[in-house]
Homo-oligomer: A and B are copies of this chain.
């Protein structure tokens, strides 16, 4: 299902409205590859002529987050970065502290191991975030 459909469904279930602005924003996000941040999204939309407000961008991003359509990736500088959850399987990140490059990876073994560790603690996980910081191949050479 497209993100737009998911959002409509989510809004309806909560008695909220699918507005022109929310449509505009979800479509922009659908056309965005990789990671993004709210203000960057807002600027991009503004530049291509959208009249949507910064407040609405922030508000809509919070709805998308709540509905599981997007997810927080990391905190850079002092603001959050997001990515679409999409049909992507869940994955984690390696982040180069030199050039900022992000490597996405997924390991079933790692996921299973986490599940086991949670069981041992009587903890019921709903989601997790693993970020490994270090140097990518290129940056390590130098």
Contacts and interface: CB of A to CB of B under 8 A. Distances in A.
Interface of A: 75, 94, 96-97, 103, 105, 107, 109-110, 113-114, 117-118, 121-137, 140
Given A113-B109, A130-B129, A122 B97 contact: no
A135 to B, nearest CB: 5
A interface, by DSSP: helix, strand, loop or mixed? strand
A123 B97 contact: no
Given A128-B131, A128-B132, A94 B123 contact: yes
B118 A134 contact: yes
A130 to B, nearest CB: 5
A114 B114 CA distance: 12
